[in-house]
Structure 1
Amino acid sequence: MGAGDPTELVLGLVPSREADVLVENAEPLVAFLSEALGIPVQGFVPQNYPGLVAAMATGQAHIGAFGPFGLVQAVDEAGAEIVLQSGRDGSVTYHTQWMTNDPDTYCLDEPVANEDGLLFCNGTLEAEEGPIGEEAIALIEDGTTVSFVSETSASGYIFPAVQLVDAEIDHIDGIDPLFADGHDNSVIAVCNGVAPVGVSFNDARTILKEGDCDDLDQVVVFAYSVEIPNDGIAVAGDLSDDLKERITQAFLDYADTEEGQATLDAVYEIDAFSPADLDAFDVVREAAEKVGGSD
């Protein structure tokens, strides 16, 4: 450790679901990091992405698990360094999924089920990457309620907003946006009929708890966005190089353990970590600029 390094580290976890669930699921990770680094590590869940960026900018957090737009914000606004990207099913990218409870309008073919019984249409079941189904996005009419996640979520707002713009739909005034404050909540909004259309990461239907949605047959995926670089881990830029390397290695080591695989799956459905491809995040900045993102 460097002479200026903190004697306690704070790990911030951007919420993708209910905060209390995330805190509980992350407890083994926090304990492992504390032991591996020989420094007490505390975990906390901010209200949203900007909250964790602000915490890192003011020295209140030293490690951040962010979505892709949050990673960009952390670099640009807090001087953080992206050290790792998450991997899922062998991929370091993902996409927005568009969902509906009105397949008669947005499915141009018959919905089909995967092996878990989840429904897809417009070729989304067979497609491993996006974009696909964008002709159905163009069917969204003025005033339609669309469930998003938050205004700073890459898959939950920024990239689908770009698709709306590309379909010549005003992403601010042409629809009735609903911000659900969680990918799971966006699925629930569509399931419960609060919104006929919604977006989330793929496939957020699998993270729902019992009782969240009585009938997932009500939620049909009908389109995907372009591929988005996965979420990942950023560290405070003013930490010593030695501590940054030790933090990075601790995450890699944890992902190689049986407990780590179970915990990371429970927290963010992460299979593995890999070194971050910093150039891959240019597409995130470009998308944010296109829809008027200020960060």
Structure 2
Amino acid sequence: MIQFPKRFAVPALVGASALLLAACSSGGDTEATDSAAPTTDTEAGADLPDSLTLALVPSDDVEQITTDGEALAAALSDEIGIPVEVFVPDSYNAVVVALQTGQADIGFLGPIAMWQAHEEAGAEIVLQAVRYGSSEYVGQWFTNDPDTYCLDDVTTEADDEGINYSYCNGATGYSGPQGEDALALVPADASIAWVDATSASGYYFPATQLSGLLGIEDPITGFPNGTFAGGHPQAVQAVYDGDATIGLSYNDARGNLAEEFSDVGEQVVVFAYTENIPNDGVVLNGELSADAQQTLTDALLALAGTDEGLAALDAVYEIEGLEAANLGAFEGIVASTYANFGSE
């Protein structure tokens, strides 16, 4: 069955406007967010602030994410009994900055930024999103030149709508790594459509893969004809149009173009997968007490078990469920990936 999860790239930490962050403080000013802020004892016995700020990355239209986020915040507020405000900045970076400065309490982030928030802001990684029954996904390598990069026969599968999608080198089933032998065939002058320098599946993880397999420390200089397409569908489009021979994306971003280009799944052939990547998820401000963190974690899990909460999660990020974060994956592959290709 073809899977079309929605993904968002997560950039490295950079400075954000102090005025923007101050306007999003859960207490209305900077001092109201420090550890001395008034707290409320909930029925669960946890010390929670009088209000909380839920930070959401703008994976889509900011206005729509804000509207959907407010429904999620209202559901969470009902669950824990205190007000929850929503913070949706106009840049991804500001979410991590807000956690770092104590102006956000809960953050929904992609895997690289989750680890970054843990390392640089002291945030606690607590939950991962579930889609299609899994809390992991892969980055996919694809090409319009299967004769070169397919080491076995190309196979084709049809989705529920009758759209065909082609694969080779065992790169099907959505578990990686697969097809890595074919990566050795990629020449230094290959035209590669990366997604963005901040994308887990469209840059970080495939870059780590090339480093480990081929010893290429910097894919930008190692493949000088590579370009950043700016998004997952754009990378697919570049390969479909012939502007690049190879592209990267999450699995399976080809579905974003299938309505407009019904043959995209056949013309753009997936030939390799990265390692499995933890899904995006939830981090909590490390300044919250252990009891408060547990209360919020339990509340979010409880929300994911209700129709109202699940509808809100789905509206925001197409989340079908939440589960405890696989910290081993973050401490292993995500940490090493961030160490190799994260910001200075």
Normalising by structure 2, what TM-score?
0.72
141, 163, 167: which is aligned to 2:214? 167
Partner of 1:105 in structure 2?
A: 148
Write the deviation string for residues 245-283 of structure 1: whole angstroms up to 9, x where unpaired.
332223212211234434434543432211223222122
Q: What is the CA-CA distance between 1:15 and the residue it aligns to?
A: 4.6
Separation in structure 2 between the aligned mates of residue 162 and residue 15 of structure 1, nearest angstrom: 26
Change (3 A) 1:161 1:125: closer
Matching of residue 133 in structure 1 with residue 179 in structure 2: yes
Structure 1 residues 7 and 200: alpha-carbon distance in aligned structure 2, compared to 1, 3 A threshold: farther
What do you get for the CA RMSD once the two structures are aligned? Answer: 3.0
| Paired position in structure 2 for 1:56 | 99
Contact persistence 1:75–1:82 (CA under 8 A): yes
Q: Distance in 2 between matches of 1:89 and 1:239?
A: 32
Q: Secondary structure at the match of 2:159?
A: coil
The percent of aligned pairs where both chains have the same amino acid is: 44
Give the whole-Å Cα distance in 1 for the aligned partners of 2:269 and 2:234. Answer: 15
Larger mean CA deviation between 277-286 and 16-25 belongs to 16-25
* Mean CA deviation greater in 71-80 or 175-184: 175-184
| Residue 47 (structure 1) aligned to one of 87, 91, 98 | 91
Task: Indicate how the Cα distance of structure 1 residues 285 and 34 shifts in structure 2: closer, same or farther if over 3 A, else same.
Answer: same
Q: In structure 2, what is the equivalent of residue 122 of structure 1?
A: 168
1:16 deviation in Å? 4.7
Give the match for residue 149 of structure 1. 195
Structure-2 residue corresponding to 1:89: 132
Moved more, 222-231 or 237-246: 237-246
Question: Counterpart in 2 of 1:186?
Answer: 235
| Counterpart contact for 2:58–2:88, Cα < 8 Å | no
Which of 323, 336, 343 aligns to 1:274? It is: 323
Q: Is the 8 Å Cα contact of residues 17 and 185 (structure 1) preserved in structure 2? A: no
Q: 1:33 aligns with which of 61, 76, 85?
A: 76
Give the match for residue 4 of structure 2.
Answer: none
Between 135-144 and 59-68, report the one with greater CA deviation. 135-144
SS of structure 2 residue aligned to 1:224: strand
Q: Counterpart of 2:221 in 1: which secondary structure?
A: coil
1:49-91 deviation line (CA, Å, top 9, x unaligned): x432112111232211112211111111001111112223333
Contact 2:56 2:86 (C-alpha < 8 Å) held by counterparts:
no
Equivalenced residue count is: 292
Aligned to 2:6: none
CA distance in 2, matches of 1:252, 1:274: 7
Q: Secondary structure at the match of 2:275?
A: coil
Does the 8 A contact of 1:23 with 1:45 survive in 2? Answer: no
| 1:207-246 aligned within 5 A | 215-217=263-265, 218-246=267-295
CA 1:206–1:62 in structure 2 vs 1: closer, same or farther (change >3 Å)? Answer: farther
- Residue 125 of structure 2 contacts residue 284 of structure 2 at CA under 8 Å; is this kept in 1? yes
2:43 matched to which residue of 1?
A: none
The aligned amino acid for 1:149 is: V
3-state SS, counterpart of residue 201 of structure 2 = helix
2:77 aligns to what SS in structure 1?
A: helix
TM-score, structure 1 as length reference = 0.83
1:135: how far off? 2.2
Distance (whole Å) between structure 2 residues aligned to residue 89 and residue 15 of structure 1:
22
Cα–Cα, structure 1 residues 21 and 76, in superposed 2: closer, same or farther, change >3 Å?
A: same
The separation in 2 between residues aligned to 1:147 and 1:92, in whole angstroms, is 26
Secondary structure of 1:65 counterpart: strand
More off after superposition, 112-121 vs 1-10: 1-10
Distance 1:178 1:11, change over 3 A: farther
Q: 1:132 deviation in Å?
A: 0.7
Asked if the contact 1:17–1:183 (Cα under 8 Å) also holds between the matched residues in 2, the reply is: no
**Greater gyration radius:** 2
1:232 CA drift (Å)? 1.4
The CA distance in 1 between the partners of 2:233 and 2:115, in whole Å, is: 23
Q: Which runs of 5+ in 1 are unaligned?
A: none
Cα displacement (A) at 1:115: 2.4
